[in-house]
Amino acid sequence: MSEADLTSVHTPASRLSMSGRWLDLSVPRVMGILNVTPDSFSDGGALSADNGAHFKVSLDKALFAAQAMVAAGVDIIDVGGESTRPGAPSVSDTEELERVIPVVAAIRRNFDVRISVDTSSAAVIAASADAGADMINDVRALQRPGALEAAAATNLAVCLMHMQGEPAFMQQAPHYSDVCAEVGAFLLARKRVCEQAGISSDRICLDPGFGFGKTLVHNYALLARLREMHTLGSPLLIGLSRKSMIGAVLGASSADRLAGSLAGAVLAAVAGAHIIRVHDVQSTVDALKIFLAMRNAGQTG
């Protein structure tokens, strides 16, 4: 980011407006991942109704998973109906709606928890708002046709993520001159576009997009310099859970990356991340309690 850019940003707010309700961000919040997909990299198919070749979500399994997250202390449940793993195929609006909206509506009926929807589709954004969602988490930063307008027409919070390329080819040859500066410049530009479209700054959070069009070195450079992202003036949402950047260092499969995921969550919290997106809610909540105990002692000791 240029010096001129930095003069126009401010300290991130300590709260986020989500469907007219404030989420306090003075402590890091845990976002639990609820993938209603057959092909997500870590847990694809886990919520299948097991009724043949056509993937169909089991509402009972989805609610059981949501209940476990709520009991573990989750702050936000992030429902996703399209895999964005490297090489993932696209999903039609119709199929994504069939997967996501009944789950969002069922969670809203049964639990008092913030609900996020991981989508880039204008149709899914609008339907999610009607079904009771509080947030849109978009890996494409509201760049698909109609997505920006659909989000602006709601009062949902939005998370804008950086991704170089598209999931089908984003990991083929990622290149940056300065990954932190380029990611920051993109996010700041998208934030300004959203504000101009009528999405107030208190509804916006930002995600540097670990693993999305970035090499191993790019990912760890972003993590090492994460504090620089605070100059963008918005809360930061960070997703490191079970990603290949952890598996590559540990030599571990996605099922065996808990220790690395927890280390990443704590490092992100130390760097001031506001929302941590994870698969393993209970373990992350516990790890962040240790971080908060240290932080609180440091403030009062």
3-state secondary structure 199-258: CCHHHEEEECCCCCCCCHHHHHHHHHCHHHHHHHCCCEEEECCCCHHHHHHHCCCHHHCH
Active site residue 289: no
Q: d(Cα 75, Cα 86) in Å, to the nearest integer?
A: 27
What is the 8-class DSSP label of residue 57?
B
The DSSP secondary structure of 270-301, one letter per residue, reads HTT-SEEEES-HHHHHHHHHHHHHHHHHHHH-
The first and second tokens of residue 264, run together, are 């990443």
Nearest to 170 by CA among 210, 134, 199: 210
- The active-site residue out of 214, 277, 289, 295 is 277
Pairing of strands 15-18, 21-24: antiparallel
Residue 77: in which H helix or E strand, if any?
A: strand 76-80
Rounded (to 5) percent helix, strand, coil in the chain: 45, 15, 40
Q: d(Cα 107, Cα 85) in Å, to the nearest integer?
A: 25
Active site residue 243: yes
Strand order in the sheet with 114-118: 204-207, 157-161, 135-138, 114-118, 76-80, 29-35, 275-278, 237-239
- The active-site residue out of 114, 214, 243, 257 is 243
Is the C-alpha dihedral spanning 166, 169, 171, 173 positive or negative? negative
Integer-rounded Cα Rg, in Å, for the chain is: 18
Please list the active-site residues. 243, 277
